[in-house]
Amino acid sequence: MRKKFSLVFVAALILAAFAGTAFAKDVKIAFIPKLTGVGFFESGGKGAVAMGNMLGIKVKYDGPSTASVSGQIEYINNFVNQGYDAIAISALSPDGLNQALKRAMKKGVIILTWDSDVNPRYRTFYISQGTAQQLGELLVKMAADQMDDPKGSPKKVAFHYSSPTVTDQNQWVVVAKKVIAEQYPNWEIVDTVFSHEDAQKAVQVPTALFQAHPDLDAVICPDANALPGTAQAAENLGIAGKVIVTGFSTPNVMRPYVKRGTVKAFGLWDVVKQGKLAIYVANLLVQGKQLHVGDEFDVPDVGHVKVSPNSVQGYDYQGEVNNGIILLPERVVFTIDNIDDYDF
């Protein structure tokens, strides 16, 4: 008797929690981040939902809570089963999602990528913040611009980001290291350290790095945890302002460090706009529009964009129609002068 009761209770609980869920038959687009709970992706999600409201379509922002390929696949499969019309995803792995994306396309779902791309065969458009080349160069430029004589005396730099297996950050850093070797042979890369998206480690690791190399000139941190962590470590050790700390992160988390002068400049792109652009393009495709390489159009709140061929990212594959790369109009370098213009 008790057993029956408890089971009924469990059932009632589930029912009560979700009975309200209704299903509309409008355009439904899913916007999937690498992981939820990170300022960068949450802001992208907000942009996506805002564009959805503007267009009068349903946009759902959700994804795995840890950066895991299997988690993303789960979401793709589920959105496909739920009959979504389009999916825009920031892929954790360039090829890990292939099978799930292939199944989605077979079932008529339009696939876009944003922030991190997949193999171009398995998506229509990639809403890109810039090529690995552009972003890697930007990392080096931001560090060099803060030096008095970047090409003069010997310099010591280090890299600090999330992990040796994360795709995009490694691609940028590979470019950055190549740029340093070519243009700044006087820079010595003393170490490349990782904090695995652990905020506590993101402070501990650069602390040890600064102490092990007291003459370090710059730390380059293209990761949302690593940049504030390194800035905090510099402040804790009382060397803020004496050492260059730069990289990629969101303005809101970096604002206090910029205001105090610990971080003079860091970069990113406007991820809110990226989210808006992804949803706008997805909706165009759902409505049946055909886009070709070279097409140009205006997007409200975002600006003028152009469809580029896949080759700008170094791919060989190029589909006839509805396949290519759409670059965000600009990347932003945040400094004390412009940081208050951004809220994400």
> Looking only at residues 80 through 99 of this chain, which bind another protein when binding is defined by CB under 8 A?
81-83, 93-99
Q: Is 32 in the site for another protein (CB under 8 A)?
A: no
Strands 125-128 and 110-114: parallel
Window 200 to 239, contacts with another protein (CB under 8 A):
200-205, 207-209, 211-214, 225, 228-229, 232, 236-237
* 2 is a site residue for another protein (CB under 8 A): yes
The residue (of 15 and 152) whose beta carbon lies closer to another protein is: 15
**Partner residues linked to 218 by β-bridges:** 157, 244
Region of 31-39, 179-187, 293-301, 321-329 interacting with another protein (CB under 8 A): 31-39
Pick between residue 77 and residue 183 the one whose CB is nearest to another protein. 77
Furthest-apart CA pair in the chain: how many Å?
83
Question: Between 61 and 281, whose beta carbon lies closer to another protein?
Answer: 61
Among 277, 262, 162, residue whose Cα is nearest residue 221? 162
Please tell me whether residue 69 binds another protein under the rule CB under 8 A: yes
CB of 65 to another protein, least distance (A): 5
Question: H or E stretch including 151?
Answer: none
Instruction: Identify which of residues 37 and 300 has a Cβ nearer to another protein in the complex.
Output: 37
Least Å distance between CB 191 and another protein?
6
Question: Which residues ranging from 148 to 177 are in contact with another protein (CB under 8 A)?
Answer: 163-167, 170-171, 174
Q: What is the CA radius of gyration of the chain?
A: 22
11 binding another protein? (CB under 8 A): yes
Check: CB of residue 90 under 8 Å from CB of residue 41: yes
Residues 249-308, interacting with another protein (CB under 8 A): 252-253, 255-256
Neighbours of 167 (CB within 10 A): 16
> Which of 31, 75, 125, 280 is in the footprint of another protein by CB under 8 A?
75
3-class DSSP assignment, residue 5:
helix
- Helix, strand and coil content of the chain, in percent to the nearest 5, comes to 45, 20, 35
Q: Closer CB to another protein, residue 181 or residue 212? A: 212
Q: How far, in Å, are 161, 273, 333 from residue 289 at the CA level? A: 40, 21, 34
- Tell whether residue 24 is a contact of another protein (CB under 8 A): no
CA distances from 4 to 1, 11, 13, 247, 288 (A): 5, 11, 14, 58, 52
Site membership for another protein, residue 130 (CB under 8 A): no
